[in-house]
Amino acid sequence: MEVVWRNLRFKYVLICIFVTFIVSCLISMSPISNDDRKYDLGTSSRDRSDVKSSINALRIRRKSKHRLAILVPFRDRFEELLKFAPHMRKFLDKQYLDYHIFILNQVDKFRFNRASLINVGFLEVKNDYDYVAMHDVDLLPTNDELSYSFPDKGPFHVSSPELHPRYHYPTFVGGILLVKREHFMKVDGMSNKYWGWGLEDDEFYVRLKEAGLNITRPQNISTGTHNSFKHIHDRNHRKRDMTKCYNQREVTRKRDRQTGLHNVSYKLEDTIEMKISDTSVTVLNIALICDKSITPWCECNKMDTSKDAKAKEKKKDQK
Ligand code: UDP
Ligand code: MN
């Protein structure tokens, strides 16, 4: 009896092993692997690698010590923004940075004021971020050697004159500049006197120098002025506002000791969270306020009293 029982038990164990073997063979031969299931749900292989790199980036972000706010002065450059946002996500995710993009959208009727927008952006983010990138919307870095890491020692000029497609003078600090919070505050941010195109970055250079800050730039980069950045600016469609009225020309050639971060005047009308092809951005709708007793050139109209306008009028009269 004992022998029969043992035999039966042995057979039972053998059958179990056999069934388990067959079932695992069937599972491994099945055409629906994990990845294929994802594909069935409509995820392409390119999307999958994007998802993977985003997850990786998120993981590293949690560990990174410093938070970067990308501050993008902006008005009416929608087609450029559509390219900028996804490009920057792909570019910066490779550097495993903890960053967020802020679009500083000027919604008032005054002339464009890049520097004041950056001041406003800084004030709005400074409690949550350790450093800012003052970043043109139309300048896309294309060489992965260009680092956006924390500029502890001093401002880091990513789009250096040796690499920028258009501006090559040695004191140029426009385009893309990384500045840590303490340094931006030390120089009282940027001047608020620059309405229209140009010179606000040159004035900022003087602020940095006067504060004794050492500006550094990318070194040993394998690319040059033609292939480090894409400047996606259509200059026929997006004309630069170079008009000068009242005494704008004289005033904006000098270092401004009156205005800066401490007295930028604005109203934050809206904060809008949006996604541009999988890239999260925050749009700040900013209405700048112009004190016409200090900067009447925030609006240049036909009735202005500048030398330029008077000269033009004279010419017309002579014709
Ligand atoms: N900008 C804008 N709308 C304007 C003018 C300027 O959004 O009407 C922003 C935009 O981020 C742009 C930056 O200011 O990249 C610098 O202006 P622009 O490209 O005209 O100057 P550039 O560096 O090409 O001389
Ligand atoms: Mn441009």
pTM: 0.80
CA of 233 to the centre of ligand 2 (A): 5
What is the rounded CA–CA span in Å between residue 281 and residue 161? 28
Rounded-to-integer distance, Cα 201 and Cα 263, Å: 18
pLDDT at 51: 52
Q: What is the side-by-side strand order in the sheet with 67-74? A: 156-157, 176-180, 131-135, 67-74, 98-106, 279-288, 266-276
| Domains of the chain as residue ranges with CATH | 67-311 (3.90.550.10)
Closest ligand to C-alpha of residue 176 is 1
Q: 124-136 as b/e, with b when 16 or more CB fall inside 10 Å?
A: bbeeebbbbbbbb
- Which pLDDT score, from 0 to 100, does residue 31 have? 34
The predicted structure's pLDDT at residue 234: 86
Cα(207) to centroid(ligand 2), Å: 23
pLDDT at 18: 60
Please name the residue whose Cα sits nearest to atom 8 of ligand 1. Answer: 75
Point out the ligand 1 atom lying closest to the alpha carbon of residue 240. 20
The pLDDT of residue 56 is 57
Of all protein residues, whose CA lies closest to atom 13 belonging to ligand 1?
136
Residue 292 Cα, ligand 1 centroid: separation in angstroms? 23
- The whole-number mean pLDDT for each consecutive block of 10 residues of the chain, a chain of 319 residues, reads 54 59 47 29 44 56 83 98 98 98 98 98 98 98 98 98 98 98 98 97 98 98 98 90 97 98 98 97 98 97 56 47
Which ligand lies nearest the alpha carbon of 232? Answer: 2
Measure 1 CA to ligand 1 centroid, in angstroms. 95
Q: How far is the CA of 197 from the centre of ligand 2 (A)?
A: 10
Residue 20 has φ and ψ, to the nearest 5°, of -60, -40
Tell me, in angstroms, the distance from the centre of ligand 2 to residue 190's CA.
Answer: 19
Which residue among 74, 102, 113, 177 has the greatest number of ligand 1 atoms within 8 angstroms of its CB, and so is best to mutate? 74
Q: Ligand 1: which residues within 6 Å by Cβ? A: 72-77, 112, 114, 136-138, 174, 197, 233, 240
> Ligand 1: which residue has its CA nearest to atom 16?
136
Distance CA 282, CA 105 (A): 10
Distance from Cα 52 to the centre of ligand 2, integer Å: 33
Which ligand places an atom closest to the C-alpha of 174?
1
Could you tell which of 190, 231, 233 is best to mutate to test the pocket of ligand 1, judged by most ligand atoms within 8 Å of the CB? Answer: 233
